[in-house]
Amino acid sequence: MPIRMEVCVDSLGSVKAVEEYVSQGENRYEVCSNLLSGGGLTPSLGLIRLIRKRHPSARLMAMIRPRTGSFVYSEDELLTMASDILAFKEEGVMGFVFGCLTTGGEVDVAACRSGHSRTALEGAWTLNELVESTRYLSTLPDHREITITLASGINDENLSTLRKLVPNLQEIHLSASGAWTPEMSFSLAKGAQLGFGSGEEWRIERDKVRRVWEALARWNAQERE
């Protein structure tokens, strides 16, 4: 089975930068906002609509996270998240990325399960166990399809090792990004003075995506032979 790739984007510009690779096969975008300082928040409905308009065949996932900080949400925040999901579904978004914790740190295991490590490579043993469990569940009657998406710290340098540790992986997720600081100007200096931030931006790095895409393309071609 071909290995799919999911890439974080936060603007039309970041979509355009990597569309050559993500638009092929069953690869997809995870649409977010505030990726640099917040780790990813719910994107605007306007951005979702523009991506759908300009890239009608794009496969979109949407981050559902109303604020930075903990993943313990109030009732009002949960209602907002549910409302965002309904709105995005109407725009053709195929799935959603979210996580919810209780005040005691408990997780809804059926919806939010991870390798419990800082990176996919560090959690590879647990992730492999999860992947193999889903393969077993798929053999049972009346099963629901479950796919484990490997994420965090994935790049072209460790992808080969990760595949050896999780040989039946189906999907990977990467941000392939870095922080970019614009040249200082009067307006930026004034904004920083007023507390509006330094102007540092999240930027997707096209070459990082290309290198991972090329590795996946080689493996997927070998699978078809």
Judge contact between 120 and 154, C-beta under 8 A.
yes
Band of residue 45 on the pLDDT scale cut at 50, 70, 90: very high
Per-domain boundaries in the chain: 4-112+175-224
For residue 158, how many C-alpha atoms fall within 13 Å in the half-sphere facing its CB? 16
pLDDT tens digits, one per residue of 134-181: 887 788 887 777 788 888 889 989 999 998 999 888 899 998 888 777
Structural tokens at position 83: 């409302």
- Contacts of residue 54, defined as CB under 8 A and 6 or more positions apart, other chains included, come to 12, 15
Which CATH superfamily does the domain covering 4-112+175-224 fall into? Copper homeostasis (CutC) domain (3.20.20.380)
For residue range 51-88, list pLDDT tens digits in order. 999 999 999 999 999 999 888 888 788 778 888 988 99
pLDDT tens-digit readout, 168-178: 888 999 988 88
Backbone angles phi, psi at 127, to 5 degrees: -65, -40
The residue to which tokens 């004034």 are assigned: 190
pLDDT mean over 188-196: 68
Whole-model pTM over 0.75:
no
CA atoms within 13 A on the CB side of 143: 12
What CA–CA distance (Å, rounded) separates 41 from 111?
18
